[in-house]
Structures are given as structure tokens and as C-alpha cells.
Amino acid sequence: MVMVFVVLFSTLSFTVNMHYCGNILVETSVFNKAKGCGMEMGNPSSEGCTMIKKNCCSDEQQAIFGQDELQLNLNKISFGQQVFVAAFFNAYNNLFEFSEDVTPYLITYPPPIIVRHIYKLDETYLI
């Protein structure tokens, strides 16, 4: 089960989006675009303002690529590695082997037959 997660996370590629306001990181997002801080400069308004200010915000994308090539052929594994995998699998599999051949000890050693109760004859009782 652990190997499934190792293979999954080693082949996974994803993108990290970051939004900076000046030199300060404001928001980070994985798989989605960062929303931003709301201070971005857009188009001049319809009121006729022609002054354009410099935008202090910036967006940055960082792509993290996973492994593309996996070794799927078993003929590239050496003989020593194959012996190790076989021995490990056999030892690990035998850890969880439960035997149901439990012999009760009363069958091999039966209790003695009680002829009379000695504690009643001597009138000794444990309290």
C-alpha cells in the first residue's frame, strides 16, 4: 500500500500559483489560480481618467513536474534484488499466518477422578 502512494506522488505533476503584493506573498494556491488581494490596476474607468498608475501586484506560477519514466520491466532487476524481494515477501507473508491447530491440554492430561472430597472429611476450608 505504501508503494502505491510512493509511485503516485513521484509521478504527480502540479502547479503552484502565487500572488505578490509588492514584495510580500499574499496568497498561494495549488491547482487553481490565486485570487489576489484586490489591489490590481485594471483599465481606466469610464469617467475619462487617462492617468495610469504602475501596478504593484504580480502573479507567479511555478510548475512542479513529476517523474515521467518508470521502470516497468522486471528483466532489468538483478538476480540479487529478485532474491531479496522473494525472501522479503515470504517472510512478510508468514508473519500473518494463523494456525488453528490448537490442542487443548486437558485431552492429553485428564484430571484425576475424585472419589471423595477430602476437604469435607477434614473440615478445612479456605476463606
pLDDT category at 84 given cuts 50, 70, 90 is: very high
Predicted confidence (pLDDT) at residue 103 exceeds the cutoff of 60:
yes
Q: What is the span of the domain harbouring residue 46?
A: 2-64
Domains identified in the chain, total number: 1
Distance CA 52, CA 45 (A): 10
Task: Tell me, yes or no, whether 35 lies in a domain.
Answer: yes
Does the pLDDT value for residue 40 go beyond 90? no
pTM equals 0.41
Residue 124 — left, alpha, or beta (φ > 0 → left; ψ -120 to 50 → alpha)? beta
Residue 60 within any structural domain of the chain: yes
- Between 12 and 68, name the one with better pLDDT: 12
44, 52 Cβ separation under 8 angstroms? yes
Q: Are 127 and 119 in contact (CB under 8 A)?
A: no
Most confident of 34-38, 54-58, 62-66: 62-66
What is the rounded average pLDDT of the residues 76-97? 86
Distance (Å, whole) CA 96 – CA 111: 35
Question: Does 70 reside within a domain?
Answer: no
